[in-house]
Amino acid sequence: MRVVLLGPPGVGKGTQGKRLAEEHGWPLISTGEMLREAVARGTPLGKQAKDLIEAGLLVPDDVISGLVRERTEEPDAHDGFVLDGYPRTVPQADSLDEMLLQRGLKLDSVVCLKVPEEELFKRLRLRQRQDDTDATVRRRLVVYREQTAPLIAYYGSKQRLREVPGSGSTEEVYRSLLEALGLNGRAV
C-alpha cells in the first residue's frame, strides 16, 4: 500500500507513520529525516538544506522530489511505502503523481492528521529538535498553512483524502488511522 501522511508539523506523522510502516513491512520515507541525516553527514545536499531547515523554510521542490524518486525506487519500497513530510507543496504532489504514473502505480491513500493549532505549538516546543526554536516553529506553521494546507483541497478533489483526528492517545490515533486505511482487521 502506498500511503501519504499529511498534516502540520507536530501532528504525529512521524510517530504514527513509523508504527504503520513497521507493522506492515513498508519503509517509512521521511524527507525531514533524510535531510537531517544529510546535514549531519555534511553532504552537498545537507549543505544546501541546512540553513533552510533551520529557518523553517522548504528545500526546493525539484531537489526533494529527486530524493523521493530515488528512494521509492529502492527494492524495499516495491510493495508499498509510507511518506511522511512529502509532498509538502502542490508541485511536489504533481511530481509524485507523475513519478508513480510512469511506473504504472498510484497512491492508495492520503491521510490528513488534524489537531488544533495551540496544541501543535505546545507539542513542537516540547519536542526540542534543533529546528524547533520558537521562531522556526512559528515559521514552519506559516509555511504549512500557505504551502502545504492547499494539498488538502488538492487531494480532496481527487477523492483520495481521509481525515483522522490526531488528538488523544497515540494508541487511539493509530486505531483511527488503521480504520481510515481499511486496515483495522489486519493490524498485528
Residues that bind ligand AMP (CB under 6 A): 9, 31-32, 35, 52-53, 56-59, 64, 85-86, 88, 92, 140
Look up residue 71 and give its three cell numbers.
528512494
DSSP string, 50-115: HHHHHHTPPPPHHHHHHHHHHHHTSGGGSS-EEEES---SHHHHHHHHHHHHHTT---SEEEEEE-
User: Nearer Cβ to ligand AMP, position 98 or 184?
Assistant: 98
User: Nearer Cβ to ligand AMP, position 138 or 186?
Assistant: 138
CA neighbor of 131 nearest in space, from 48, 26, 49: 49
Minimum CB separation from ligand AMP for residue 156, in Å? 19
* DSSP run (H or E) holding 163: strand 161-165
Distance CA(31)–CA(65), nearest Å, equals 9
Minimum CB separation from ligand AMP for residue 186, in Å? 27
User: Nearer Cβ to ligand AMP, position 127 or 186?
Assistant: 127
Minimum CB separation from ligand AMP for residue 38, in Å? 10
Minimum CB separation from ligand AMP for residue 84, in Å? 7
Q: Which residue has the cell 498534516?
A: 7
Minimum CB separation from ligand AMP for residue 147, in Å? 9
User: Nearer Cβ to ligand AMP, position 24 or 50?
Assistant: 50
Give the strand pairing for 2-6 and 109-114.
parallel
User: Nearer Cβ to ligand AMP, position 30 or 109?
Assistant: 30
